[in-house]
Amino acid sequence: MTLFGFNLLTLILIMILLKITNASDIVASKAGKLFEKMTPEMIDQKLVESQVIQQMIEQLQLEGLKGQISSVKGLDIIDDTLTTKSTFKVRSTKNF
């Protein structure tokens, strides 16, 4: 089935949301407690997020998948409901 000359199957967007809740713990286990105490929580989250995204891209490429990974702020899931905050922002997007 086509719409405006595009195959509708190619227009389907599949989204997987990943929320990292233990960024400080990961930084502490990898870099040590002293480094964790010196870095704010936001830096820990960005550091872990960056590494997770890079590893996901590498694995997805190995499987032959092509797509896009975006890092967003201001998005949450509460009881099966996707909510956006007024501060919603796409921080970065990487194609693979």
The pLDDT tens digits for 13-44 are: 677 888 888 877 777 777 666 555 655 666 66
- 31/25 Cα distance (integer angstroms): 10
Structure tokens at 2: 């086509």
More confident residue, 75 or 10: 75
Task: With beta carbons less than 8 A apart as the criterion, state whether 68 and 60 touch.
Answer: no
Percent of the chain scoring above 70 in pLDDT? 71
Q: Residue 76: is its pLDDT beyond 70? A: yes
For the segment 77-92, what is each residue's pLDDT rounded down to a tens digit? 888 898 888 889 999 9
Determine if the pTM surpasses 0.75: no
Every domain of the chain and the residues it spans? 21-95
Report the DSSP beta bridge partners of residue 73.
89
- As a whole number of Å, the end-to-end CA separation of the chain is 27
